[in-house]
Amino acid sequence: MYSNEDYLIQLLQEGGQLDPAYVQDIRSKMGDENLLQFFLEKGDVTETAIAQIAAANSGMEFLDLGNVMLTEDLASRMPLETARQYRAIPVADDGSYLSVAVADVLDFEVLDSLPHVLGREINFYSATPSGIARGISTIYGEEDDAGADAVTVVGETTDDDVDAPIIKMVNNILVDAFKSRASDIHIEPLETSLRIRNRIDGKLVEVASHPKKLLPAVIARLKVMSSTMSIAEKRLPQDGRIQIRMGGKEVDLRVSSVPSNHGESIVMRILDKSALTLGLGQLGFLSDDQDTFRELIGLPDGIILVTGPTGSGKTTTLYACLNEINKPDKKIITAEDPVEYELAGINQVMVKSDIGMTFGAALRSMLRQAPNIIMVGEIRDKETAEIAIQASLTGHLVFSTLHTNDAPSAVARLADIGIKRFLIASAVRAIIAQRLVRTLCNKCATTGILTEKEMSVLNIDPSQMANANIMVPNGCENCKSSGYRGRSGIYEVFKIDDEVRHLINQDLSTPQLRKRARELGMRTLREDGIRKVLVGKTTADEVIGVTMADKD
């Protein structure tokens, strides 16, 4: 617990806190091992006395954390992992110096390392270990439950030393990311340090910085956990998967390693299986769009495309669709690269291009399985597009994704890869473009107003404000002081009806098709985002940020 037990016992004797004869008697019976802990448990000395005498002999102040106002906004000054590792918490920040309380002011490694780890000038204070533990719980919203931090790798033998420093460090990285609702973890070697960043609600947040010398051991540990990655191979990219249990839940991690100029960089995507059971309302569809979408996914045949950039939630939307229509009387087959989640009752096929199992090859095989519904992870080439269209024209309902910025652009994209426009018009039933915006924390969001600039940028008419419920972020323990918790979608639903089919066959340009689609009632991404601002689900800044190209 303490780095210099003998020295502390000597100081306590000199200060009259412990009787030297009593100490000598106990030492003759127990030896020196855990002697100070024995005195603590017997009540011969208190944590406060130890912290005070250590402070006095280090030229520092003792801080009774029970009398200090600790708030959640202090969490941004020091990552949780660092607080745990160094048994330290930030207590104040005046802009120039960060005030930090530590459990052991005689641990000179802590005093030397923290200023470099945090990149700040630090004023150190002495505090009790139990006060630090309670402070961590207060600032970071952590439960004082060691079991919640236990990490078990599925399939790994129990021979590993779970108390080894590197194993504990890696486990802490995983636990902190999971508890902060991160979607992925970035372990990045820099020139002189090892940086840890988590992506939380779409935003990358730096959570820790470690000495560069730890990189090989951290990378090796993660490769061992994945079981399919080679520790010896450091020159080529590798992919793997880790299955772990923590906090009573099973969590899957998709691991990617890439050699960089400063060493191997690893990104782990946390696969959240709760996305499998999301309803359309939880995805972000308002009631009218939910009705439209249910009508579309209930069609017997045709293609439904979901478009948007990488990370816009397309796969989650497709899984939610399959979950909604997955019934015993329907045979559903998917072709995915890779299979991210296992869906009960659905046949999933892993695409492996290196052995010839391409999307096209998988689709051809799937059609011989007599499915009702097919999901293709992505239409990347003419072969896949042609087979998907053929399947839709022969009585199958096909779901897939495309990388386009808006819904009408998907028509031009299919034409560019070689699909005839009359086939596009005949096969496609709807195209849904989507983006993700952060949603306001329902625990702390407060009533607010839109600025004139925001109303101007979003082209909001003052008449729309009559029944608006504008909310703004605030920050609390529930959202880790960010003001936001979770993300939801904004959507552009482009239904292909008879008139639109005629327009597609006329070979209209994308701007012309988009203009006509809007005249026929298509709501743009920005317009859908505005609706969600007006009902208090998100903010104008979020909508503006993800719809910069959507200005018409």
Q: What is the pLDDT of residues 27-81, one digit of tens each?
A: 887 766 667 877 887 778 888 999 999 999 888 999 988 778 787 778 888 888 8
Residue 347: CB atoms within 10 A of its CB come to 12
Structure tokens at 515: 């203009």
Token pair, residue 378, equals 């992505």
Residue 145: pLDDT band (50, 70, 90) is very low
| Coil, helix or strand at residue 225 | helix
**Which of 271, 269, 231 shows the shortest CA–CA distance to 250?**
271
CA distance linking residue 22 with residue 363, whole number of Å:
81
pLDDT, residue 147, reads: 44
Q: Give percent above pLDDT 90 in the chain.
A: 41
| Burial class (CB within 10 angstroms; exposed 0-12, middle 13-18, buried 19+) of 234 | middle
Beta bridge partners of 99: 92, 123
Cα 122 to Cα 374: distance, rounded to the nearest angstrom: 59
> 43-57: per-residue pLDDT in tens?
788 889 999 999 998
Given a cut of 50, whether residue 143 has pLDDT beyond it is no
Q: How far is CA 14 from the centre of its chain?
A: 52
For residue 99, give the nearest of 72, 80, 127 by alpha carbon: 127
Percent of the chain at pLDDT > 70 equals 92
> Is the separation of the CB atoms in 211 and 194 below 8 Å?
yes
Classify burial at 92, counting beta carbons within 10 Å of its beta carbon; exposed 0-12, middle 13-18, buried 19 or more: middle
d(CA 292, CA 283): 14
- Within 8 A by CB and 6+ apart from 34, the residues are none
pLDDT above 70: residue 163? no
**What is the pLDDT at residue 245?**
80
Q: Which tokens is 257 given? A: 């390693």
- Measured CA to CA, the distance from residue 361 to residue 367 in angstroms comes to 10
Q: Residue 483's closest CA among 532, 438, 540, 530?
A: 438
Residue 199 has what pLDDT? 94
pLDDT for residue 523 is more than 60 = yes
CA dihedral sign of residues 226, 228, 232, 238? negative
pTM beyond 0.85, yes or no: no
Amino acid identity at 480: K
Cα(92)–Cα(28) distance, integer angstroms: 44
CB-based contact 189:216 (threshold 8 Å): no
Who's near 102: CB < 8 A, 6+ residues apart? Answer: 86, 87, 88, 110, 111, 114, 124, 125, 126, 127, 132
Structure tokens at 59: 């030229």
Beta strands in 103-237 (DSSP E): 121-126, 151-153, 182-189, 193-200, 203-211
Spatial distance between the Cα atoms of 494 and 76, rounded to a whole number of angstroms? 42
